[in-house]
Amino acid sequence: MGKTVLIIGGVRSGKSHYAQELARSKSGAVLFVATAEAGDEEMRQRIEEHKKARPATWRTLEVQSRVGKRIRQEIGEAQVVIVDCITLLVNNVFSQQQSAGNGRVDLKVAEKAVTDEINALLECCRQVEASFIMVSNEVGSGIVPADKMSRLYRDLLGKANQMLAQQADEVLMMVAGIPLPLKSGGSKQ
């Protein structure tokens, strides 16, 4: 088991760029796990920009759920795994719950689905002989969303971030492109 790093921050705070720089500083092959779905043209363009910014030698795994299972299947020789991003992973799981409930979401069912997804990812981190760098948005510092679904999503992402931060060896918060250490030294808190 390698080191697990969680990088959180606001939108366009430099999280993904820093995660890639951190991966470049390590030796060994990199597996880049992309959780985004190209739902519209703007998102397709963002995905393409991100792909162009990555070294051609990095393998990319595009997966929207069951990320831990897919990483174990696809790890190969990778010594570093970047999961970018947890925000969209939680959104994907949440959207699956919305679809299954015809637009309605049972809080307990959605929370269990997200918890199961994050626990499976954490189990993968413990089982795989690689370092993990995970990227997620910090959404708890903003205003309280006006609608119920947005509040529920924000709460689920906050819980996922807490679960990951508790098990991570290192947690960094990106602010204006600057990494601020929140947790270091490998202590599980």
Which residues are tagged catalytic? 50
> Do you find a cis peptide bond into 124, omega within 30 degrees of 0?
no
- The DSSP 8-state label assigned to residue 79 in this structure reads E
Q: Alpha-carbon distance 160 to 156, whole Å?
A: 6
Long-range contacts: 101-109, Cβ < 8 Å, 24+?
105/149, 105/152, 107/152
Largest Cα separation within the chain, whole Å, is: 46
Determine the 3-state secondary structure of 189 from DSSP.
Answer: coil
Other CB atoms within 10 Å distance of the CB of residue 14: 17
- Which has the closest alpha carbon to 47: 31, 34, 66, 33? 34
Q: Alpha-carbon distance 172 to 19, whole Å?
A: 10
